[in-house]
Chains A and B, each alone.
Chain A
Amino acid sequence: MANQEISGIVMKYPQERRFALAAMQDMQRALSYIPREGLELLAEHLQCPMAELYSMATFYKALSLRPRGKHIIKLCNGTACHIRGSVNLRKCVSEILGIEAGETTPDGLFTLEIVNCLGACASSPVILIDDIFYGDVTAEQVPEILSAYCEKETI
């Protein structure tokens, strides 16, 4: 299943090196990570060393070699968010979920990422979960925001 999906993504692109990043981003979106098979197939398709694709996969923040959680929590630590207390939110999220930045919860539900500026500085501090923005977040609101995602899963 996954292999079919991967080859579907890879074959969609012309055999030109410039599509390497785009193909890997598609894989990331479809599978929540770049599996080894994905790198192998893409390297063959683009006729380039797999090591070069590997170095891209580890260089770009949008790409990951390990599966990410179902919900991606992007906690903004841009300057505006930083001086308006994003550090406290980070502590709070980490405590509730038991994970640090870059980690995924054991149940695969959440991945916590610390990002630099989501461009919503006027609403700082900001948390982006999947594609929903939460602005002017305070530490007290964090449990409530997160529990909404947990509940969705149990229903």
Chain B
Amino acid sequence: MKTVYVCCGTNCLAAGAKKVLSELRQECAGMEAEVLPRIKETGCSGFCEYGPIVTIADEGENDITYYRVKESDAAEIAQKTIAKGELIPRLCFHKDRNQPVASKMENPFYSSQKKIALRNVGLIDPADLQDYLARGGYEGLKRALELGSEGVLEEMRLSGLRGRGGAGFPTAAKWETGAKQKEFPKYIVCNGDEGDPGAFMDGSIMEGDPHSVIEGMLIAAIAVGSEQGFLYIRDEYVHARRSIGKALEEAKKAGFLGRNILNSGFSFDAEIVRGGGAFVCGEGSALLESIEGKVGEPRHKPPRTSEVGLWRKPTVTNNVETLANVPFILAKGGKAFAQIGTEGSKGTKVFAMVGKVKRTGLVEVPMGITLHDLIFEIGGGIKNGRQFKAVQTGGPSGGCIPQSMLDLQVDFDNLTKFGAMMGSGGMIVMDDTSCMVEVARYYVDFLCEESCGKCTPCREGLRQMRHILTEICEGRGQDGDLETLERIARTMKDTALCALGRTAANPVLSTIRYFREEYNAHIHDKFCPAGVCSKLSVFKIDPETCVGCGLCSTLCPAKAVIGEAKHPYRIDPQRCTTCGSCRNKCPKKAIITERRGENGSKD
């Protein structure tokens, strides 16, 4: 019997996966019994740029995977591939120009990935507990029940797992602190408040494999000695909340959750808390405040939340991806996990690779892979044939890494050493049309809006940095601005109350460190070389290169492109807002950036 997997992750849904699914169901409904497939609605299969994705697998190892499937393709897929096993090359991924790739594993996007946290995502129906059990689900829990607290802690120590939420704190150490506490009750909290812009791995795990997160919490509870857990899930993640909610019900029904689990005498229950849409609640202690029904402001530390946490009781908080790794560690052993990765960072890491890369999506790779391999081998390089400029890792707490450092091996320590951060695993690829000063301003602006305002360095420091960066982007930058920025950044690093404030200056510091020339161009030459800051740049069409196709003229929202077909077009600098619509689409790359002169000034 064949199984058809239809990816219904957020991105595929946005691309129309539900329609494809219902059409396929209809097409297959009338099929003969021997070819009638099982049709499964799965979580995110990762290759989001090419969604909706449909995989047709036989009982063995073989599969045929189709990309960018439309509703109208369903009939053909049913008649040819499902009924007869025939390949439809048109829907396949093409490795080289004319070479269709049938199987998922031959697709370079998937072939060098190693999946642990995502081991089930895309391969199971998240709403079906049986699917999870069939792939070894809750085996880790059974082993943990046999081992007891000390045994679980030992496996975790062997695994070397470090928290995937940002700071990379050793999970075993955190659990041990929790286990040592004499106070009771103790709580286990799953941090699903994934707020870093550009990161969606936790959302995908909760959507696509909710039971692995619940199982991870159960194992943590055994180690720590807790009976109650909370899953704090971001307000924006509608699908993830639904999926976890369903899984909690199923797990309770099957006896994996509740009183006397699997007749072991151990009891644990968990419930969902819906976030309120505040970035700072991703910070551990602010998150606990929010669960308590208060404003989500971080607490002073010490004491750590594993000692004094929720309702002043010991509370162990782990990130979604961390918890999803735990069942694997218990089922396969900590040693097996520790064989993957680098000296200081074991296992794999999930990255949300987005931005100007050809194949955006969710990837899981062993720690220690180089940025080059990630972006160029798996990601396929830069879109529209443009030049790579930088990759931003770690979200608003992270930094921008330039071209010269593409050979850097990605792990917790390396990224920190070079001024970036692993963060939760967002990886935003930027090309030569991104202005690094503007990117820094974007992050500072984001954090300024999201800063809770409790401590002065973060609240005021960000505001001052935003002011200076805006001045630079708008052509009023002065000598000494960079030094002032660096000074504010250092003060914030030393004195802010929580980790978010202490890392908030990283995007500014790392861009100054690696892209100082670009700052200087803005400040001294009043020029934005990337053509993003509209007060400092203007586009021009190179008359030698322009073939007069007129595409830019149709696309320009400001109606700034003048001319007639088959002759070189011209841009009216008075009207041009440097939005980039023309530059993104020009087939001849004839759009060049120039300094906006006094006479071309918009104001």
Q: Which positions in A face B, CB cutoff 8 Å?
A: 16-22, 25, 46, 52, 55-56, 59-63, 74, 77-80, 82-85, 87-88, 92, 115-124, 126, 131, 133-135, 138-140
B354 within 8 A of A: yes
Q: Which residue from A25, A121, A135, A138 sits with its C-beta under 8 Å from B200?
A: A121
Contact A119 B194 (CB under 8 A): yes
Contact B237 A83 (CB under 8 A): no
Q: A residues within 8 A CB of B279?
A: 116
Provide the bound-state CA to CA distance between A123 and B52, in Å: 11
Q: B residues within 8 A CB of A120?
A: 10-11, 14, 200
Identify which of A20, A52, A62, A83 gathers the most chain B CB atoms within 10 Å of its CB. A83
Count the B residues whose beta carbon is within 8 Å of the partner chain — how many? 59
Contact B274 A25 (CB under 8 A): yes
Identify which of A62, A118, A123 gathers the most chain B CB atoms within 10 Å of its CB. A123
Q: Which residue from A25, A83, A138 sits with its C-beta under 8 Å from B356?
A: A83
Provide the bound-state CA to CA distance between A120 and B355, in Å: 12
Provide the bound-state CA to CA distance between A16 and B311, in Å: 12
Contact B276 A62 (CB under 8 A): yes
Q: B residues within 8 A CB of A79?
A: 197-198, 354-355, 392, 395, 426, 428, 442-443
Q: Chain B's nearest CB lies how many Å from the CB of A30?
A: 15
Within B526-570, which residues are at the interface with A (CB < 8 Å)?
555, 557
B294 within 8 A of A: yes
Q: Chain B's nearest CB lies how many Å from the CB of A6?
A: 18
Contact B293 A85 (CB under 8 A): no
Q: A residues within 8 A CB of B450?
A: 116
Contact A60 B195 (CB under 8 A): no
Provide the bound-state CA to CA distance between A59 and B451, in Å: 11
Contact B197 A80 (CB under 8 A): yes
Identify the closest chain A residue to B295 (Cβ): A59
Contact B354 A56 (CB under 8 A): no
Q: A residues within 8 A CB of B442?
A: 79, 82
Contact B274 A22 (CB under 8 A): yes
Given that A59-B296, A140-B557 are contacting pairs, would A122 and B361 also be in contact in the complex, using a CB cutoff of 8 Å?
A: yes
Contact A21 B274 (CB under 8 A): yes
Q: A residues within 8 A CB of B238?
A: 131
Provide the bound-state CA to CA distance between A123 and B580, in Å: 18
Q: Chain A's nearest CB lies how many Å from the CB of B483?
A: 27
Chain B 175-209 interface mask (CB, 8 Å, partner A; 1/0): 00000000000000000001111111001100000
Contact B14 A61 (CB under 8 A): no
Contact A122 B278 (CB under 8 A): no
Q: B residues within 8 A CB of A20?
A: 293-294
Given that A25-B276, A79-B197, A85-B579 are contacting pairs, would A122 and B360 also be in contact in the complex, using a CB cutoff of 8 Å?
A: yes
Contact A117 B199 (CB under 8 A): yes
B371 within 8 A of A: no
Q: Chain B's nearest CB lies how many Å from the CB of A41?
A: 16
The 10 closest A-B pairs by CB, nearest first: A60-B276, A122-B48, A78-B197, A61-B277, A133-B14, A119-B200, A20-B293, A117-B197, A121-B354, A80-B354
Q: Chain B's nearest CB lies how many Å from the CB of A96?
A: 12
Within B1-46, which residues are at the interface with A (CB < 8 Å)?
10-11, 13-15
Provide the bound-state CA to CA distance between A126 and B15, in Å: 11
Can you name 18 A-B residue pairings with CB atoms under 8 Å?
A17-B292, A17-B294, A25-B274, A60-B235, A62-B277, A78-B198, A79-B198, A79-B426, A80-B354, A85-B581, A85-B584, A92-B557, A119-B194, A121-B354, A121-B355, A122-B11, A122-B49, A135-B15
B51 within 8 A of A: yes
Q: Chain A's nearest CB lies how many Å from the CB of B596?
A: 17
Provide the bound-state CA to CA distance between A83 and B293, in Å: 36
Provide the bound-state CA to CA distance between A61 and B274, in Å: 13
Provide the bound-state CA to CA distance between A124 and B178, in Å: 41
Q: A residues within 8 A CB of B579?
A: 85, 87-88, 139
Given that A17-B292, A18-B293 are contacting pairs, would A133 and B197 also be in contact in the complex, using a CB cutoff of 8 Å?
A: no
Contact A62 B235 (CB under 8 A): yes
Provide the bound-state CA to CA distance between A120 and B44, in Å: 11
Given that A25-B276, A59-B276, A59-B296 are contacting pairs, would A123 and B434 also be in contact in the complex, using a CB cutoff of 8 Å?
A: no
Provide the bound-state CA to CA distance between A133 and B8, in Å: 13
Q: Chain B's nearest CB lies how many Å from the CB of A92?
A: 7
B291 within 8 A of A: yes
Q: B residues within 8 A CB of A22?
A: 273-274
Q: A residues within 8 A CB of B51?
A: 122
Q: Which residue from A60, A80, A133 sits with its C-beta under 8 Å from B198?
A: A80
Identify the closest chain B residue to A135 (Cβ): B14
Q: Chain A's nearest CB lies how many Å from the CB of B240?
A: 8
Q: Which residue from B236, B296, B428, B555 sits with its C-beta under 8 Å from A118?
A: B236
Q: Chain A's nearest CB lies how many Å from the CB of B576?
A: 13
Contact B294 A83 (CB under 8 A): no
Provide the bound-state CA to CA distance between A100 and B51, in Å: 33
Chain B 272-285 interface mask (CB, 8 Å, partner A; 1/0): 01111111000000
Q: Chain B's nearest CB lies how many Å from the CB of A29?
A: 11
Contact A117 B195 (CB under 8 A): yes
Contact A21 B290 (CB under 8 A): yes
Identify the closest chain B residue to A131 (Cβ): B238
Contact B293 A80 (CB under 8 A): no
Contact B355 A80 (CB under 8 A): yes
Q: A residues within 8 A CB of B581?
A: 85, 88, 138-139
Chain B 442-458 interface mask (CB, 8 Å, partner A; 1/0): 11001000101000000
Q: A residues within 8 A CB of B14?
A: 120, 123, 126, 133-135
Provide the bound-state CA to CA distance between A74 and B439, in Å: 21
Identify the closest chain B residue to A61 (Cβ): B277
Given that A60-B277, A117-B196 are contacting pairs, would A18 and B430 also be in contact in the complex, using a CB cutoff of 8 Å?
A: no
Contact A61 B354 (CB under 8 A): no
Q: A residues within 8 A CB of B275?
A: 62
Q: Chain B's nearest CB lies how many Å from the CB of A111?
A: 14
Q: B residues within 8 A CB of A118?
A: 10, 236
Provide the bound-state CA to CA distance between A92 and B579, in Å: 12
B352 within 8 A of A: yes
Q: A residues within 8 A CB of B355?
A: 79-80, 83-84, 121
Contact A63 B276 (CB under 8 A): yes
Provide the bound-state CA to CA distance between A22 and B271, in Å: 13
Contact A119 B439 (CB under 8 A): no
Provide the bound-state CA to CA distance between A97 and B573, in Å: 27
Q: Chain B's nearest CB lies how many Å from the CB of A139?
A: 5
Q: Chain B's nearest CB lies how many Å from the CB of A81?
A: 8
Contact A60 B278 (CB under 8 A): yes
Contact A83 B428 (CB under 8 A): yes
Given that A61-B278, A124-B354 are contacting pairs, would A83 and B430 also be in contact in the complex, using a CB cutoff of 8 Å?
A: yes
Provide the bound-state CA to CA distance between A126 and B11, in Å: 10
Contact B197 A56 (CB under 8 A): no
Provide the bound-state CA to CA distance between A145 and B236, in Å: 21
Provide the bound-state CA to CA distance between A18 and B426, in Å: 31
Q: B residues within 8 A CB of A62?
A: 235, 275-277
